[in-house]
A and B are shown apart, each in its own frame.
Chain A
């Protein structure tokens, strides 16, 4: 027979988001918590990120991925939170019943009063960008290669071309180089790197690895194993320019072409996804349209800093507590947060609650285009500027955050539009 359990809170995913949500929920007085993790260990992708640079915001010190995860796993050991690793969630129903599978118990169903979705994201594949050519061995997403090198202890290649200058691509360019591989180039279809500036400097520039902007792979060659790639320049509409083809010999292609929030379970519950973020539509406490189902971290929006993931997990954890204790006060109408000029998306999507204890709400957003010396303007429904922030540089690769003071949120307000504009002359 299928085993049955009851919990107040079930957290799906034991990466940084899930760990933070579970710990913060317990801190806020929730007792009966279960954390489910599909891998054999907690910590999620942090465990394969053995480089440093984690925790500068949250801990004010520089940690490696496993160290950062370790801090939370240690706290977990001192808590009453139940953990099941090696446990894959198969389905979550609308009435918050979770079906999962593991070696020890087989199939189990868990009835939960609240759920936090923290499944993280997956990497976009070759197909997401439609690279034609052969289908040999030697094509990996950067994260898969990272797992082979850092967890399994194997090198997936010797002569490497990396497509995409996302953070994992940049980190892997350095990692493969340090392991003795020859990274021939990092290609980026856009005219700017999509990774953090510090990663470009520390991972490429310091190792003399060329970054070819406005370039992409137009064919992969090799019957059994990758033998070479054809690289082309692209025009303003990102189309390969005929005549610019160049063949680069290599045995391995690493792809760092974006991350997709992993929301298959979410979709099955019947929760709407935002077409831009790929994550659920949420209010300021990270609650989805299904009451009692919360979400945080990369399954909601792909972050560049784990510190923000932790912060978001804690928001969700506190919100679960308020929900379960019935300590919430709804606004008469929600405030919708609308992306305006040069804003790709804003999380949260709306503000649902009144909260006297809350001083401000942190808004996360990404820009469409890089910009210099800009103003982030928050306008109400009438077009009146409520607040403006200055930024020297904004770029799609780095999340922009601003604070919305609680005092500015009027009871009658129904929307706030955010635009990022060039400063007037």
Chain B
């Protein structure tokens, strides 16, 4: 296989870069080691589009966040991703906190963040009635928003595929091939791809990828953050993204509604050794809950429907690392992308496009690059029962059922997802091939029963549509098969004297 550009990593960064580069006449391959995009840091984070007052103006974080924030209205509309600009409040309880809020406000204004305002007194409780009554001040940032982070990533990748990018799932990079000090290819578990430009967007593994070329300039220190997600009957309990006073490395344990109307609490922040250990801990979740209760005391843990954790891919100096490798030509690092990495992704992608143009000029001087005329900016409008129902478009849905009865068969009761929606997810440009991938695209299994009822049904649909045995259907890729054997098979084998 050959490509002009190989992107390593199907997180929000890699997917945004793939979509942006797809505007040009380039052969692009995106490699993802898991069975879906958005499987690392992009799957488990707060889903906040930050206003951008927080980061230092001299850093890439500071510059790119502010640049990217206004891009989300068009992006979300084009890609049909749930996004709401609900604004954020950083909550202060005393004079010392007020000083911090003032500093943040000044920093934000210097960066060009619009609408920042310090709110105090009664007004605070008018706009946020369930806030801790002891709160005194808040820095209000009206441009902050919430987005479904994995849906955004999947949509970016889908749009990239529609525009010609090849997304190869379950394809893990095992080595970078270099000749002299130039990249010539990428070795994967499925074979080699010849290329002159490699973009390292490998998130938690970006230092490992760099090291494959002998470049040891990156050092990723995974930092875990744990979350509780509350039932939908809590979605209106707060109206804004609520932050505590930030620490040096983290914006703290926040409380926010999600785009789907749940309430999200978290994350805490702990450096960990392992890059693939998203386990939650009892003490960590206690910390998250008590942290959230400091902002909103009326929360109840009995309505937690799921808990999870994500790992931030923090680099040593805490800023993003975006630029060509100083070791090998043709390798571009996009590493250390932690918060506000989700917000910054569109601006990062634009920055990387410029870097790619420069790099191509060096390594492939003959290559002429121009914008494609047939670039598709948008994704088709998704078919979602719950949305049509909430907006009262019952006749529209009725028409759909008449054309395809699968849209009349409810599979997930809690989130109201029909069979038609699930089959559609399996056929998306980046296809859903596992239970979790279906869940991220349709929300089947994301509700209060967490797939208890719909799990067996989704397994059956996946097996039928993909033409595989139910025994081969996985939760999240190879090794996570849901079922172990046909019934009677174990007992029959035991009867034969075989080992079970």
Contact = CB atoms under 8 A, between A and B. Distances in A.
Given A154-B485, A225-B481, A136 B475 contact: yes
A131 B453 CA distance: 20
B484 A107 contact: no
Interface in B333-387: 385
A49 to B, nearest CB: 15
A154 B471 CA distance: 8
B486 A155 contact: yes
B491 A122 contact: no
A378 B397 CA distance: 54
Interface in A121-167: 122-123, 125-128, 130, 132-137, 140-141, 143-144, 147-149, 151-158
A153 B487 contact: yes
Given A2-B398, A127-B306, A224-B476, A135 B278 contact: yes
Query: Secondary structure at chain A's binding surface: helix, strand, loop or mixed?
Result: mixed
A327 B460 CA distance: 49
Contacts of A152: 456, 459-460, 470
B490 A158 contact: yes
A381 interface: no
Range of interface residues on A (Cβ < 8 Å): 35 or more
A157 B394 contact: no
Interface string B382-401: 00010001000011011001
B129 interface: no
A405 interface: no
B304 A106 contact: no
A127 B450 contact: yes
A154 B280 contact: no
A137 B397 contact: no
A106 B449 contact: no
Contacts of B479: 223-225
B246 to A, nearest CB: 26
B383 to A, nearest CB: 14
The size bracket of the interface on B is 35 or more
B452 A122 contact: yes
Nearest to A177: B491
A148 B457 CA distance: 10
Interface in A26-47: 38
Interface string A74-109: 000000000000101010000000010111111100
A88 B487 contact: no
Nearest to A3: B398
Nearest to A156: B483
A64 interface: no
Interface stretch (B51-59, B281-289, B315-323): B281-289
Interface of B: 276, 278-282, 284-285, 301-302, 304-308, 385, 389, 394-395, 397-398, 401-402, 405-410, 413-414, 416, 418, 448-453, 455-456, 459-460, 470-471, 474-494, 500
Given A106-B402, A135-B278, 8 more contacts: A102-B408, A103-B406, A107-B401, A133-B280, A136-B475, A137-B481, A152-B460, A158-B484
